[in-house]
Structure 1
Amino acid sequence: MSEIPALDDAAALWSCPPEERAGRPLLILLHGYGSHEGDLFRLVPFLPPEFVVAAVRAPLSPPFPAPGWSWFPIEGVADAASTAAADASAAVTAAAESLRAWLGRTTDPATAVGLLGFSQGGAVALQALRLAPERFSFVVNLAGFVVPGELPTDAALAELRPPVFWGRGARDEVIPPGRIAHTTEWLPRHVDLSGRVYPGLTHSVSEEELADVRAFLEKRLGDLSG
């Protein structure tokens, strides 16, 4: 399996201090390629305040001259049949395991946890859900994708069918079409899927999509409190 370093605990941004987190659900934000933990953290004012929000920093530095951080190398992402693609899938799994290790270090095991990831962060969020479907309550996948390959826990995921919101732009030219096709086929067989394709939207997030995400998160709060 690909080597992915441990996440930097000190780099995580939290919406509140430790003494205000007990008994509240946690929403973890996972940024995209070449970005950083502060990017999605700017969404906190638009998210339901009942959540404790933590934005984590991806563990890898992209090749020069790309800025920021990445969850896994991008080589092989576009080719679903190559050896590089298998290596890329293994790297996504390793990144998801690194995220789970960070969660184990920082959060009470009884805390309800949801994931919100953009692009690469969305792929890692979905992979973490696949690896531990009993640990994560839901996923918000923005402009992300499911990596190919089977995991031993996929059957358990299909039985639990946790809620997943998938939002993407109709004009997104970053995520390869093959990855979109695979995700479109795979997700409905394993999760309770909702979401939208936004006309005119590129590889980004719009105000309309944010409103849909907030509505999805408010429904999840209702599920958790019920």
Structure 2
Amino acid sequence: MPTSPPALTIDREAVLWSASERDRVDRPLLMLLHGYGSDEADLFGISAYLPLEPVIASVRAPIPEGPGFAWFSRFSNSESNPSQANANAAATAVLDWLDDQPAPPSIGLLGFSQGGALALQLMRLAPERFSYAVQLSGFAIAGELPGDVHLAMHRPPVFWGRGSIDDSIPSAAIDRTTDWLPSHSTLDSRVYEGLNHAISPRELTDVSGFIRHVL
């Protein structure tokens, strides 16, 4: 009988905020979820290119791995398709952290690679809590969750951007995501010519416009 993954927690001291606690009141929240082997400082650098309205919180993944941190370990999961149990453990850690924060008027998600997969998993686990998601160079995780029915009915806005020469995400994961997203979101899908596993200035411009439109 498979064992449940250990409970994970978010390091509250490691979260990077774009505004002081006083200046966060009554403003939308945008959470940044970094990729594998990185940390909270990585995506925080794109904050200057995003709309000013939402408060940004860049969160550190809970599993030390590689040169930084991971949302789910590469040593105990298939490449670009972690088990639902492990993905849910990471998502639950984020939801627990959110429970300790003052409730904002809305919450958006922006994730890169593993963080993009986690952004979708958070929407699938608690669809009523999130207004939109931006997934950059990420993927959907195989399997079904109860929240998938809610997403299929309400179709929240999702931006999916990826590079045409990104060979870090296997084609099977791209195919799975291509099949899943259109029926569970109002999808804005972009493929950037000549871009590898990275974020381009053009993509950031498109992401910023997407978030402005949603807000």
Same fold (TM over 0.5): yes
Give the aligned residue type for 1:54. A
Partner of 1:115: 109
Quote the sequence identity (%): 50
How many residues align? The count is: 211
Deviations 1:173-203 (A, max 9, x none): 1111111100000000111000201111000
Residues 74 and 134 of structure 1: CA distance in aligned 2, closer, same or farther (over 3 Å): same
Partner of 2:96: 101
1:175 aligns with 2:175: no
- CA distances 1:81-106 after superposition (whole Å, capped 9, x unpaired): xxxx5xx3321111111111111112
Shift of the alpha carbon at 1:78?
Answer: 3.4
Identify the residue that residue 160 of structure 2 maps to in structure 1. Answer: 166
Of 39-48 and 2-11, deviating more is 2-11
Amino acid at match of 1:68: G
Counterpart for residue 78 of structure 1: 79
- Partner SS state of residue 53, structure 1: strand
Paired with 1:144 and 1:199, the residues of 2 have a C-alpha distance of: 17
The letter of the residue matching 1:174 is S
- Matched to 1:28, the amino acid is M
2:112 and 2:7 mapped to 1: Cα distance?
Answer: 19
Please say if 1:38 is aligned against 2:41: yes
Write the distance in 1 (CA, Å) between the matches of 2:115 and 2:213. Answer: 22
Q: CA deviation at 1:26?
A: 0.3
Cα-Cα RMSD: 1.3
Give how far 1:73 is off. Answer: 1.0
Letter in 2 for 1:46: Y
Deviations 1:43-68 (A, max 9, x none): 11101001100000000011xxx201
| Residue 61 (structure 2) pairs with residue 58 (structure 1) | yes
> Which 5+ residue runs of structure 1 have no aligned equivalent?
222-226
* Alignment TM-score, normalising by the size of structure 2: 0.94
Query: CA contact under 8 A between 1:165 and 1:216: conserved in structure 2?
Result: yes
Q: Which residue of 26, 30, 33 maps to 1:27?
A: 30
Residues 18-58 of structure 1, C-alpha deviations (whole Å, 9 max, x = no match): 11111110000000000000000001110100110000000
Q: 1:4·1:91 contact (CA, 8 Å) conserved in 2?
A: no
CA contact (8 A) 2:38 2:70 kept: yes
- Match status 1:200 vs 2:201: no
Are 2:138 and 1:144 equivalent residues in the alignment?
yes
Tell me which stretches of 4 or more aligned residues in structure 1 moved more than 6 Å. Answer: none
Which residue of 2 is the match for residue 224 of structure 1? none
Which letter does structure 1 place at the counterpart of 2:146? P
Q: Secondary structure at the match of 1:205?
A: coil
Give how far 1:168 is off: 0.4
Q: What SS does the aligned partner of 2:70 have?
A: coil
TM-score by length of 1: 0.90
